[in-house]
Structures are given as structure tokens and as C-alpha cells.
Amino acid sequence: MSGPGGLAPSRGIRFAALGDSLTAGVGDPVDGGWRGWAALLGGGLGGGDFRNFAVSGALTRDVEEDQLPAALDFAPDLASVVVGVNDTLRCAFDIQDLARRLDRVCHALAARGTVLLTACLPDPGTMLGLPAPLARPLARRQRAVNAVVHALSERHGAVHLHMADAAWVADRTLWSADRLHPGERGHRMTAARFHDLLAARGLAPGPAPSLEADRPPPTRTAALAWLATAGTGWVVRRCQDLLPELLRLAGDEVQHWARGTTARLDLHAEHALSGALAALGARSPGPSLARMGE
């Protein structure tokens, strides 16, 4: 069992990472595989054991149904739960279902004394530089996810990292060629920021991960090369699921913009979020959704 503060220093800190490609390390290649922020952070926790259960492409449903049971068997002292972006990229996006699932994941881990690590994330439309009619619907969805993560983080006393701020998004040297995942510098920055937050709580006995990158940030040529190769496959896969829905959302966006009724879309999203938070017993979001999760 965990000791004071949720840790068990006598046997070393056991750290479990749950989530999607961000936590799996995509964007930080080493030795033919991926490393990523979670592995870097694990090396700065004074020994112990680290397991990465994150899987590229995972939805919140996958974290609950597949990763959580394995993580509970591992009995971690620390567990990161960073997921939700892939949910926003699906036509069946349902903020209430996501909130219920994420709440069950956080509760199951926190109930056994595990200290949670969470993060709010930038929306993929902004990261990809999509036109406004395409970007706005994704932004609403990601802000709703972030609002749920904020509420659950507060409820469970999680160590929360704010990754949706403008400075983080604007610094392209932190991001990989695909413009969706951090590059090596971004992963190192994420690990270091989490380490600082843990150290402030007395939960990081090891040295902070280095910010010194082994490789230069991707060039514009590398980004174009990714779009022409792996990026094409990514777009094709998303076209089968996301694109029809995204085009419908963009059509609604344009129509409401032309009529001057865009606020109705914000209100609809705010009502859905309010319902999700109410079901969790969390407080209503209050101000316009345009400011939620930022």
C-alpha cells in the first residue's frame, strides 16, 4: 500500500502511464521506438518501476476498458491519465460519455491511494492550422474535454499540467513534424514541468529530466515530407470516420456565421458540458464555453 502522500518510497515509486499517442511517446523516437515524456519523467522519480500502458489512437473508452485493469494490477503510486484528443476527432463524440468514463478511471486509481497526473491539451484544429469553420467545432470539443479534466483533477487532488496555453502552442520548436504531437523538446518540456509540479508536493525524489535535446527540431522540409507520406495515410484513415462529420459541423458553422447566430453553437456545446458536469456532481461551467478549458 502507498505511504503518506500516496507514495511508497521504501520500495521505490511505481509510476503507470495511461493514455494515447501523446503518452506513448509519439514524436520522440529512440532506438526504433518511442520514448516520450512519461518515460523521461519516470527516470526522474528516484528509481522504482515504470510501466507505460498508453496506446496510440486510444480513446477514453480504451483507457477505461483495456488500460485501467492492467494499471490497477500494477498497483502504481503515481498514474498519469492524459486522454481525450482522439475522442474529439470521432464523429460519435459524446462529452457526457467521456466524462463518465474518465471519472471511473480517476476514481478507481485514486481510491487505492494513487496520486493522479492530468493535463489539459490544445485542440487539434489549432495545432493543424485548420480554417476557422473546421477548427471551431474541434476547439469547442477540446475545451469541453479540458473542462471535464479540470473538474476531475480538482475532485481527486491531481497534479495538473496546463498544456493548452498560447505560448506552449505557438512555439513550433516543441512540436514534431506532424504538428499534433510534441517533438523531443516538447516531450522533455512536458516531463520537466510535471517533475516541477511533483517536486512542489514533495513527490519527486529524483533529478529533473534534462531539457537538452539530442536532436534538432523538425524543419519545414521534414514537415512537408511527413504530410506527403505518413500524413497522407493519417488523413485517409480520418476521412473514413471524422471527415464526413467534420464537414457537417463546418457547414453548420458557416450557416450560423452567415446568419449571425454562431452563439447558438456555443450555447449548445455549453449545455452539453453542463449536463456532463452535473452528472459528475461538479459545478456548472458558468461563463461562456469560449473561455472553458483554456
What distance, in Å, lies between the first and last C-alpha atoms of the chain? 36
pLDDT in tens, 195-237: 999 999 999 988 999 998 877 666 666 655 655 555 455 555 5
More confident site: 183 or 217: 183
- Residue 289's pLDDT band, with cuts at 50, 70 and 90, is very low
C-alpha closest to that of 59 among 94, 32, 8: 94
Beta strand pairing status for 33-34 and 29-30? Answer: antiparallel
pLDDT in tens, 107-140: 999 999 999 999 999 988 888 777 888 888 889 9
| Chain centroid, CA 143 distance in Å | 12
Beta strand pairing status for 49-52 and 14-19? Answer: parallel
* H or E segment to which residue 271 belongs: helix 262-280
More confident site: 170 or 241: 170
More confident site: 31 or 38: 38
Q: What is the pTM of this model?
A: 0.86
Say which amino acid occupies 42.
Answer: G
C-alpha closest to that of 62 among 50, 51, 54, 74: 54
